[in-house]
Chains A and B, each alone.
Chain A
Amino acid sequence: MIGSKILLVDDEEIFADNMAKLLQNRQYKVTAVYNGESAIKALEKENFDVIVLDLKMPGMNGIATLKKIKNLGLFTETLLLTGHGSVESAIEALRMGAYDFLAKPCEIDDLVEKIEGAWRKKDQAWKKDMEEKLKRVVESPSDAFKLFD
């Protein structure tokens, strides 16, 4: 979706910056960070639609970052990028709730396709959540403040 907000997390700064430019050329709003801690800080500050997360990073790696992302309880979907090609890590990440993974190097079009898929999933989940909340507000108006706070 044009205008979707993407958070790009990769310790390879050149790769992260280039990928951000490529996605911006395709009308995405991209924020690039270079480590897991910065990614969590960015997620706490603003909403993102899709996170593109590198698996292998020094310090907090992709899996640890993903765990923290899940703990934040956001609707954001996560795509994993793996240069190591470790299928086991990618499968573990998928089990932990990542949407999909891509092996580096990848074509930009392949990444865009996966981002779109992730955005659609995120959008569906968000809409479903909203519907449920509205239903509960209709059933119990006093809960509106709690739900939408």
Chain B
Amino acid sequence: MDQDLETRKNKQYSRLFRRFIVLTMICSLVPLLLAGWAINIHYSRFAKERMMKTLETRVEYHKKIIELFLKENRAKLDFIVSTHSIVSLTKNDNLSQILKSVNSDSWTLTDIGIIDENGDHLAYVGPYDLIDKNYSNTLWFKEVMEKGSYTSDMFMGFRKEPHFVMAVIKKENKRRWILRATVNTDSFCSLVEDVRIGRTGEVYILNSQGIYQTSPGSGGKIMMQAPAFEGDIHDGLEFRFLEAFDKDEKTRKKIVCETWLKDPKWLLVVSVDEKELFVEVGHANRATLVSLHFSALMILVVTIFITRHMIFVIKKRDFEVEGMNNQLMEAGKLASIGELSAGVAHEINNPLAIIMTERQLLLDAEKRTAITDETLGEQFIDSLNQIGTQVLRCKHITRNLLKFARRTRSVIETVDINRFLIEVITLMEREARSDGIEFTSSLDDSLPPILSDPSQLQQVFLNFINNAIDAHKDKGHGMITLSTCLSTDNKGIDITVEDTGSGIKTKDIGKIFDPFFTTKSVGQGTGLGLSICYSIVKQLGGTIQIQSEMGKGTVFTLTFPFEPPGDLMKHG
């Protein structure tokens, strides 16, 4: 039955534990994770938008730089033609000086030349042998002659290298001359690629037919046709999201930002791996998720520990409360028994008193008028004597019952326990010796005195020693040892009464302090002695422990504090 109760209790505690955990997870973990994920997603989206915005700004800015570069160089040419006469320009020295001046800050023009309206070079300064070339059939010549100024796309030309030119018309003396300069391809390409983002980023320029004007980096060369060129001319920036294969043939998502330059109509393309662009967002994302899940895990672990500890505390409290309830029940039982005992004792004493008077009247009558029949006379006296004996026995029982019921006020005095025990031993020695029992003692001389009630202590020890003597009844010889020492918590004194008697059965040990429980035969004990001792010891703030082994003996250890409980000190 106890096992079932224990199992049921353990199941209840396990259920309570699980409920606490689930509740905590629902109330703390789930909101944490939801909030964390939501914030993370929102942050990621926000960060990506910011990154895209930044890319957009960079591309826009870069577009302006390229346009400025082209504009600047065209402006330089315009300035040259407006400030120099054709005569001056056709002199190679002057032209060479002009080229040097233009390239003084940075080498932006490869060469410069003057071409007449027939397409013939009148002057040329540069690294190529082009002075004899005629450009009348070239696209750029035709365009500049028509428009007045022109920036070409990349073309091979006479020099058989990809290059592009800027040309402006100079009108003088009703004739037209062209000032043409070749933009340094390397400088231009460097300028264009300056905005490249990360390892995977690409920046290049396409013309309106989709021909590479600068090298794209991965696959494709200048003057090659770009794949998947749509050619829609639009204002502003446009983003496209592509999937491309890298050199390892793995699919990669790319973000492509395109914007058309004004003049020439070139498309500036900036592309970057999506992963690379958002690499920091990815890191932050991962760090956040790791922290979030780690925090969740820590919360779970801590919750488990705290819940486990809480269940342990609850178990302990339940155990203490159960103990207290048991004690209260015991005390309540004892109090009820006490009250009952007092009532019964009083009610019984009066009839007993009447029986005694009737007995005495019969004895008086017998003295006045002797019974002639000897047998009857003897029986008469024997029976009256027996009545007297039994009435006194009843009186003894009722007196013990009343002692049990009575709450005697303790009178607190300083007691030297060792001296006290020696006095008790002296009182009991003779009786014990007659039963073949010897006393020994092992008393600690260094013990301080205690504050207690000597008469109640005497009652207790006399009772224990009497029980110890009775325990040897079947043996006829033995030893009773009394010893004293400091208690383990140093707050009182331990007194042991050890006998070599018959011992107490294990199943009886839990009951020996119950009122009316006795192992003695009928008429040998009321079963109240140890109950009274237990009440007295508890009242004085002490404890009793028992160890016993059948056939070997019993040890009672009584512990008394140096000072009794506070209320006893106040009222004792």
Contact = CB atoms under 8 A, between A and B. Distances in A.
A-B interaction: yes
Interface residues of A, number: 20
Contacts, number: 65
Given A56-B346, A83-B349, A87-B406, A15 B354 contact: yes
A108 B408 CA distance: 29
B360 interface: yes
A14 interface: yes
Interface string A1-31: 0000000000010110011011001000000
B353 A105 contact: yes
B360 A14 contact: no
Interface stretch (B156-164, B318-326, B395-403, B537-545): B395-403
B193 to A, nearest CB: 114
A56 B345 CA distance: 13
A86 B173 CA distance: 154
B353 A12 contact: yes
A139 interface: no
B397 to A, nearest CB: 12
A106 B364 contact: no
Contacts of B35: none
A107 interface: yes
B444 interface: no
B349 A84 contact: yes
A103 interface: yes
A107 B349 contact: no
Contacts of A21: 361, 364
A83 B346 contact: yes
B360 A105 contact: no
B415 interface: no
Contact of A85 (B346, B356, B392): B346
B349 A104 contact: yes
B311 interface: no
Given A15-B353, A83-B349, A85-B345, A105 B391 contact: yes
Interface in A91-123: 103-108
B361 A104 contact: no
B137 interface: no
A106 B360 contact: no
A12 B395 contact: no
Contacts of A84: 342, 345-346, 349, 402
Nearest to A21: B361
A12 B342 CA distance: 19
B242 to A, nearest CB: 107
B279 interface: no
Contact of A104 (B342, B350, B358, B364): B350
B349 A105 contact: yes
A15 B354 CA distance: 5
Contacts of A103: 349, 395, 399
A18 B360 CA distance: 9
Contact of B402 (A12, A56, A85, A108): A85
A44 B4 CA distance: 74
B353 A106 contact: yes
A105 B352 contact: yes
A21 B364 CA distance: 10
A84 B88 CA distance: 151
Contact of B361 (A22, A83, A85, A107): A22
Name the residue among A25, A83, A86 with the largest chain B CB count within 10 angstroms. Answer: A83
A125 to B, nearest CB: 29
A18 B349 contact: no
B405 to A, nearest CB: 9
Contacts of B408: 87
B395 A105 contact: yes
Interface string B407-439: 010000000000000000000000000000000
A15 B350 contact: yes
B398 A108 contact: no
Interface in B348-379: 349-350, 352-358, 360-361, 364
Interface of B: 342, 345-346, 349-350, 352-358, 360-361, 364, 388, 391-392, 395, 398-399, 402, 406, 408
Given A84-B349, A87-B406, 15 more contacts: A12-B354, A14-B354, A14-B357, A18-B357, A18-B358, A18-B360, A22-B364, A84-B346, A85-B402, A103-B395, A105-B349, A105-B355, A105-B391, A105-B395, A107-B356
27 contacts: A12-B350, A12-B354, A14-B354, A15-B350, A15-B354, A15-B357, A18-B354, A18-B357, A18-B360, A19-B357, A21-B364, A22-B360, A25-B361, A25-B364, A83-B346, A83-B353, A84-B342, A84-B402, A85-B399, A87-B406, A87-B408, A105-B349, A105-B352, A105-B353, A105-B391, A108-B356, A108-B360
Shortest beta-carbon contacts, A-B, top 9: A18-B357, A83-B349, A104-B353, A105-B353, A105-B356, A105-B352, A85-B402, A84-B346, A25-B364
